[in-house]
Structure 1
Amino acid sequence: MPIAWSQTSPSTVFHADNLTVLPSLPDESFTLIYLDPPFNTGRKQKRQSTTSVRSSAEGAMSAVGAITGFKGQRYERIKGDLLGYDDQFEDYWAFLEPRLIEAWRLLADDGTLYLHLDYREAHYAKVLLDALFGRDCFLNELIWAYDYGAKSKNRWPTKHDTILVYVKNPATYYFDSSTVDREPYMAPGLVTPEKVALGKLPTDVWWHTIVSPTGKEKTGYPTQKPVGILRRIIQASSREGDWVLDFFAGSGTTGAVAASLGRRFVLVDQNPESLTVMRARFAELPEVDFVDAP
């Protein structure tokens, strides 16, 4: 049964497998899509199997949805060669790929995708997103660095995540760094007092602590991301009134930050624990619809 949603709807949280919701949402509805999918850490996941076929035409048609490769690139060829390299990744990509194809369809012409991964999959995802979006649509590789938790003694401790940033159209995408909260200079003695007082714009390396287990921000959800990370993303890549989508919603941080900044949002998650957290978190917002989708 199709999902009844349009840009005249209130902010909405769907309790469902995201692949049952996404196909019903209208094309190019969202200025910003932030995705924080499972990181392929070995946890049990519910995956949908897909079969990829190599395109013999000049353009490419995906086996999980009709999509032409950017500027006629042979998307299936690039994907097929890469997936043949690593069986474990092929399984993960079979889970993630159809959802990223939907993300591409749902992005507005001025829209931006932020895909949040860690070291296990980010390098594979970069090559495949280059094929799906086009290399001209790659905007940034953001590094979120933190220093908390256990430290390995037999290798360099892994204390960062990667956020890949792609735009729908490199000629029209929206980005406004002037709206982003500034941060202190690491070497304030090298700049003027006026600049120290103003602070500096963030670069592509973001030093930000994780959500403290004892902090006020903590909801109890195990993979909760910090408000500060989402605030920076939403400030830079959307305007007041724009629609923001997160279909691995988790604790709902994307929606909470979007609402605080005057944006509207659609969140999707199938985990009942996630819905419990979001109902409590959004209880004081003026209007948010919760929908149990098929």
Structure 2
Amino acid sequence: MPPLAGPDRIIHADNLDVLPGLPDAAFTLVYLDPPFNSGRVQGRRPTTNVRSATGSVVGFQGQRYERIRGDLVHYDDRFDDYWGFLEPRLAEAWRLLADDGTLYLHLDYREAHYAKVLLDALFGRECFLNEIIWAYDYGGKSKRRWPSKHDTILVYVKDPKRYYFDSTAVDREPYMAPGLVTPEKVELGKLPTDVWWHTIVSPTGKEKTGYPTQKPEGVIRRMIQASSREGDWVLDFFAGSGTTGAVAAALGRRFVLVDENPAAIEVMRGRFGEISGVEFEEAVARG
């Protein structure tokens, strides 16, 4: 396939209709924030990407992918529907990653542990780079359990020997105990670790678009700064309010955003409509 070229694109479509038409190894960074498996029914469609018990992919402790999936389905049958929805899209994401590329998969506590085991099998455990915990403190707080105030972002690289990562490009953050370090370090700030303390999008803040699952620009900014260069292409095919594209553009990256929700497309038209060089596209569904 030819390399990716042309304008930044926002595509209104089911992502599984669009992804096969994008060129191999075109994106240095893929960020995915899929619908969390919170009890809602997920759409499914047949796929040829299912791994067989005798296939060549060997994951955790040498087990075949189909065995791991079977074990997890036996444990929790709700997972099969969710993974049937997500797996073919992750297989496409892997194909679309450049050799030095990185996948960031944003989940919550319901699916992160399942996804980690299955991604190890699907992509190779050696390609796992990080588990990032995004911690926040906003909203209701249960008194019958420890309140859930974090999301998990699983980070996998296409090639563990070639992936791009530039920690010096990441915005630094204040020290939590500035009195324990030198004034020079306080002024410089520290690099974020794999635990990111960052507030959610404020309901009254200037970032707010009105889209219910909007993620803060600061969280996306760290990923794009560290795992891509200026001019690189970034892909988000659960684009929602378009934050990935907005941050990518501000940092000099190119982007492709895909979402099938008309409300998301309307939000993105308001967000990008006045920006030169961004094209909106209606994709035709496959028969």
Query: Deviation at 1:69?
Result: 7.0
Query: Deviation at 1:5?
Result: 8.8
Whether the aligned pair in 1 keeps the contact of 2:42 and 2:81 (CA below 8 Å) is no
Query: Deviation at 1:74?
Result: 2.4
Are positions 1:106 and 2:100 aligned together? no
Are positions 1:12 and 2:20 aligned together? no
What is the TM-score of this pair, normalised by structure 1? 0.92
Give the aligned partner of residue 200 of structure 1.
190
1:53-132 aligned within 5 A:
54-57=52-55, 59-60=56-57, 74-132=64-122
Counterparts of 1:84 and 1:108, CA distance in 2: 35
Superposed CA offset, 1:161-193 (max 9, x none): 000000000000000010000000000000000
One-letter code aligned to 1:266: V
Superposed CA offset, 1:18-68 (max 9, x none): 0000011111110000000000112343333558563235x14xxxxxxx8
Query: Deviation at 1:85?
Result: 2.0
Counterparts of 1:83 and 1:44, CA distance in 2: 16
Counterparts of 1:279 and 1:217, CA distance in 2: 15
Are positions 1:174 and 2:174 aligned together? no
Counterparts of 1:53 and 1:167, CA distance in 2: 20
1:253-292 aligned within 5 A:
253-292=243-282
Query: Deviation at 1:83?
Result: 2.4
Query: Deviation at 1:77?
Result: 2.5
Give the aligned partner of residue 32 of structure 2.
35
Whether the aligned pair in 1 keeps the contact of 2:3 and 2:23 (CA below 8 Å) is yes
Query: Deviation at 1:133?
Result: 1.3
Go from structure 1 to structure 2 and tell me whether the alpha carbon gap of 1:54 and 1:7 turns closer, same or farther (over 3 Å shift). closer
2:222 to 216, 232, 237: 232
One-letter code aligned to 1:34: Y
Counterparts of 2:215 and 2:92, CA distance in 1: 23
Aligned residues: 283
Percent of pairs identical after alignment? 77
User: Gaps spanning 5+ residues in structure 2: where?
Assistant: none
Whether the aligned pair in 1 keeps the contact of 2:128 and 2:155 (CA below 8 Å) is yes
Moved over 4 A (4+): 49-53
Go from structure 1 to structure 2 and tell me whether the alpha carbon gap of 1:5 and 1:213 turns closer, same or farther (over 3 Å shift). farther
Give the aligned partner of residue 176 of structure 2.
186
One-letter code aligned to 2:178: P
Query: Deviation at 1:116?
Result: 0.1
Aligned with 1:84: secondary structure?
helix
Deviates more, 1:19-28 or 1:38-47: 38-47
Go from structure 1 to structure 2 and tell me whether the alpha carbon gap of 1:54 and 1:44 turns closer, same or farther (over 3 Å shift). closer
Superposed CA offset, 1:183-209 (max 9, x none): 000000000000000000000000000
Counterparts of 2:146 and 2:198, CA distance in 1: 19
Counterparts of 2:41 and 2:246, CA distance in 1: 28
Give the aligned partner of residue 213 of structure 2.
223
Query: Deviation at 1:283?
Result: 2.0
Go from structure 1 to structure 2 and tell me whether the alpha carbon gap of 1:266 and 1:5 turns closer, same or farther (over 3 Å shift). farther
Give the aligned partner of residue 20 of structure 2.
23
Superposed CA offset, 1:72-114 (max 9, x none): 9622222222223210011100000000000111111000000
Aligned with 1:100: secondary structure?
helix
Whether the aligned pair in 1 keeps the contact of 2:7 and 2:279 (CA below 8 Å) is yes
Whether the aligned pair in 2 keeps the contact of 1:241 and 1:262 (CA below 8 Å) is yes
2:135 to 130, 142, 145: 145
Superposed CA offset, 1:243-268 (max 9, x none): 00000000000000000000000000
Give the aligned partner of residue 148 of structure 2.
158
User: Gaps spanning 5+ residues in structure 1: where?
Assistant: 61-67
Give the aligned partner of residue 65 of structure 1.
none
